[in-house]
Amino acid sequence: MNRSIRVVLADDEPVILRGLKKLIAWESLGLEIVGEASDGIELKTLIDSAAPDLIISDISMPGYSGIDIIREIHESGRSIKVVFISAYQEFAYARQALQYGAVDYLLKPVNTGQLEQAAGKAAALIRQESEEERNKERLKSYERKKVSGTIEELLEQLTDGNKGAAVTLARLGNTAITRFATVCAVEIDEYSGGSSRWEEHERKLVEFALSNIIKETVESSGSGYVFRKGERLCMLLQHEQAEQPLALLIDLHQKINSYLKLQVTIGVGLPGDGMEEADESYRSALKALKSKYFCGLNRVIADDGAAQAHSSLSSPAFLAETQLSLIEALKMLEKETAAGRCKELLDQVEQLSVGSPAQAVSHIYNTVLQLEQELAEYSADAAAQQGPSPLLLEQLTAAPTYAALGEAFCSVVQQLYDQLAGRLSGKEMPQLLQVKAYVEEHYAENITLESMAAMLYMNPYYFSSFFKKHTGQNFKHYLTEVRLNHARRLLLQSNLMIYEIAELVGYNNARHFSDMFKKKFGRLPQEYKQSWKP
């Protein structure tokens, strides 16, 4: 429904003003009187305050004449229509008034028919121009949407590797000539890679709000374009300095956090030399986005172009060594040592995973399986032999970041430690720790069951029963395991001969040592060492 046309009446004679108000049924013509002026000064003020569509005014008034008023309206470009009323002797003004666009010119005394016809004529012109303006605006809006849709399609093609799309964009006049072009990708952390806490309609509202704030920020910066690529919102930024996008994106990220209370990660690609390299920059942005699993959520991550660095301590052999060290620390109930081994292991797994969350989960899960298996053989406690929870793999996979995966792993290790420590109470704990500490320090010496029993002031038979009760294995088997684990470490980390390693871990006979090593690890020492070479 069209709104009423706003009318201001002006005359320096109050009786004429009252007569004009009552002369016709204004409302039936869709007209609303929004103000009255008794001179040119008041009329000029009302034009600004009442925003009229139509002025019906005496042409000769104190302050400013009607000609002064219509001249100002004409020069300012306002679309206000004017109908003038005057006495016969002022009819000479008519030609000048019509030159400035007056709709009509009425002579006093004005009758109902004249005023109604003039007001109706002005109203028709106002409505016609208003409709034409709306149609123009609709057409402009349609054209903008059409061009916007075309640009989005071309940007999608460009990031898919279609170099010709850059030429088409330039032809449309929507791109600047800049030294660099950088593509960035935005991902909502709340539901990326998992189930959303939002219903579908809520998700669409969130994405709509996110799209708006990105467009406002990017478009206000100058040469920037926002487009959708699959499920992600992307940006293409044109700039002269390589580091320019980062400042803009940090500002955008802060706005999203502050105004929308939304956690997002923005992946920033490497700047390309012009629009033609947008596809490479896009792939680089996805690489940066993918690294959020290891870098952490809710941040701006720029791809630095560097290849994944590999530490000399991040081979499968060193991971296996750390796993064994962790097992030994748990068996010895060395809490701080176990915590240190956990950190070392997590660092090695991150290096070995080369940016793959799936590989990280696989390494951690396999480590837990090994811990469970080794400690189940070591422990006589039935609870410790139940194995990992069937839901463990699912829980590890659901971890949103590597830090969360590490926390879940450390929690499992803590549970294993508590199971082992829980079986010991009173003075038995320090006694067992004393034995293990002694063996760990003197494993290369001639240690016997009798000598260890004497150290605790126990008879050999009681000591043997005590040790097996709390560890699930006999003392001789435990001593052999400690020696062989140290032998394995020397084998992998040194160039010592086999007989030298045998002597260092308490074996006088190298042949006997090799047989024991093969029994535990499935291969002779030299074969085992060769199998771990890259």
Secondary structure E strands in 171-322: 180-188, 224-229, 232-239, 264-268, 300-302
Report pLDDT for 391: 78
Taking Cα atoms as reference points, which of 95, 103, 114 lies closest to residue 55?
103
Per CATH, is 428-531 categorized as 1.10.10.60? yes
* Residue 343, φ and ψ in degrees, nearest 5: -65, -45
Predicted TM-score of the model (pTM) = 0.56
Helices (H), 310-427: 316-331, 335-352, 357-378, 392-398, 402-422
Beta-strand relationship, 180-188 and 264-268:
antiparallel
- pLDDT confidence of residue 425: 58
> Which residues are CB-contacts of 40 (< 8 A; sequence separation ≥ 6)?
10, 61, 62, 63, 64, 65, 66, 68, 69
Neighbours of 229 (CB within 10 A): 17
Domain formed by 5-131, architecture: 3-Layer(aba) Sandwich (3.40)
Q: Which run of H or E residues covers position 218?
A: helix 200-220
Helix-helix angle 164-172:112-159, to 10 degrees: 160
In which element (H, E) is residue 337 found?
helix 335-352
CB 332 within 8 A of CB 341: no
Answer yes or no: are the C-beta atoms of 415 and 335 closer than 8 Å. Answer: no
pLDDT of residue 194: 47
Does residue 356 contact residue 401 with C-beta atoms inside 8 Å? no
Domain ranges of the chain: 5-131, 176-302, 316-422, 428-531
Fold category of 176-302 in CATH: Alpha-Beta Plaits (3.30.70)
Q: Check if the beta carbon of residue 530 is closer than 8 Å to that of residue 491.
A: no
Are 62 and 34 a contacting pair, CB within 8 Å?
Answer: no
Tens of pLDDT along the chain (534 residues)?
A: 467 899 999 999 999 999 999 999 999 889 999 999 999 999 999 999 999 999 999 988 899 988 899 989 988 888 899 999 887 666 667 677 777 888 988 888 889 999 999 999 999 998 888 877 777 777 665 555 555 557 778 888 888 888 878 777 777 665 667 788 899 999 998 754 444 555 777 778 888 899 899 989 988 877 788 888 888 899 989 888 888 889 899 999 999 999 988 999 999 999 988 888 888 999 999 999 989 999 999 999 998 876 655 555 567 878 888 888 898 888 777 788 899 999 999 999 998 988 889 999 999 999 998 888 877 766 544 344 455 566 788 889 989 899 999 999 999 999 888 887 776 655 677 788 788 889 989 999 999 999 999 998 889 899 898 888 777 778 999 899 889 989 988 988 888 999 999 999 999 999 999 999 999 888 899 988 887 765
Tokens 């320019």 correspond to: 244
Taking only Cα atoms into account, the Rg of the chain, rounded to an integer number of angstroms, comes to 43
Q: Is the dihedral of CA 239, 245, 251, 252 positive or negative?
A: positive
Report the C-alpha gap between 467 and 461 in whole angstroms: 10
- Give Cα 380 distance to the centre of its chain: 48
pLDDT confidence of residue 385: 47
